Amino acid sequence: EVVMTQSPATLSVSPGERATLSCRASQSVSSNLAWYQQKPGQAPRLLIYGSSIRATDIPARFSGSGSGTEFTLTINSLQSEDFAVYYCQQYKDWPSFGQGTRLEIK
Amino acid sequence: QVQLVESGGGVVQPGGSLRLSCVASGFTFRSYSMHWVRQGPDKGLEWVAVISYDGGNKFYADAVQGRFTISRDNFKSTLFLQISSLRDDDTAVYFCARSENGYDNWFFEVWGRGAPVTVSS
């Protein structure tokens, strides 16, 4: 089982600033890494797959990077609608998710 | 538009059973692998099961192996999850989700809104 660990648990950032979220895998997952955004009462929304490929209709301010065991989601120029919980997920092995990072308004 | 709509959730006693359904629309259902993913109260996401596009292959998370059964009806564009021998820790919102085919493409492009399942006596 591949264990995904996200940091920090909570990130406080001001609107207009940049947010950097981290995700670490317990073993290499190559580039088989996705990021999701989830707002209260809603289903997750795919943002990034293949570590760095933006999903359909995802704004360019969202970018992903990394390979192997270390990954980063960067959100530039934070908008009010970006404050949510973010999950990483690996699909190199049986799918597994990180525990999430809550992005809150500073 | 592309849509997944779950139904069948509810309150069930420990040891009981329930059948969840997920109706797909707006895409060629029979061309995609389909999954169930759950989220416990104030918890993260947990992958539950997958079924291949033709129903020929099914895989389960260890936590549900032997208790849950995933199936599909491609003529009715519907995905199912039969859940039995329910335990308290099965309480969750159950999402159906679509992925491309092939185990190295199991990220989830489309999600339903979820069906809540509560295990309680």
Contact criterion met (CB < 8 Å) for A97 and B113: no
Judging contacts by C-beta atoms under 8 Å, the chain A residues touching residue B103 are 91
- From A97, which residue of chain B is nearest by alpha-carbon distance? B45
Q: What residues of chain A have any CB closer than 8 angstroms to a CB in chain B?
A: 32, 34, 36, 42-46, 49, 55, 87, 89, 91-92, 94-100
Phi, psi of A81 (to 5 degrees): -75, -5
Confidence of residue B102 (pLDDT cuts 50, 70, 90): confident
pLDDT score at B75: 97
For residue A30, give both structure tokens: 């190559």
For B108, the closest of A46, A92, A100 (CB atoms) is A46
Grouped pLDDT means (10 residues each) for chain A, 106 residues:
96 97 98 97 96 97 98 97 97 96 96
State the Cα–Cα distance between residues A90 and B103, nearest whole angstrom: 11
Tell me: pLDDT of B103 over 80.
no
pLDDT score at A33: 98
State the Cα–Cα distance between residues A72 and A47, nearest whole angstrom: 13
pLDDT score at B17: 96
Shortest CA distance to B45 belongs to which of B34, B59, B35, B33? B35
pLDDT score at B54: 94
**B45 touches A: beta carbon within 8 Å:** yes
Q: What is the mean pLDDT of chain B?
A: 95
Judging contacts by C-beta atoms under 8 Å, the chain A residues touching residue B51 are none
State the Cα–Cα distance between residues A61 and B118, nearest whole angstrom: 38
pLDDT score at A44: 96
Nearest-CA distance from A14 to chain B in Å? 25
Task: Answer whether A24's CB lies under 8 Å from A5's CB.
Answer: yes
pLDDT digits (tens, 9 = 90+) for B40-51: 987 889 999 999
**B15 touches A: beta carbon within 8 Å:** no
Which residue shows structure tokens 């679509």?
B98
The CA–CA distances, whole Å, from A65 to A56, A70, A106, B66 equal 17, 9, 25, 38
Mean pLDDT in residue range B29-36: 96
Which residue shows structure tokens 């890494």?
A33
Mean pLDDT in residue range B89-109: 92
pLDDT score at B104: 82
What does the angle CA A34 – CA A31 – CA B96 come to, to the nearest 5 degrees?
30
**B111 touches A: beta carbon within 8 Å:** yes
Give the three-class secondary structure for B108.
Answer: coil
Per-residue H/E/C for B53-94: CCCCCEEECCCCCCCEEEEEECCCCEEEEEECCCCHHHCEEE
State the Cα–Cα distance between residues B110 and B99, nearest whole angstrom: 7
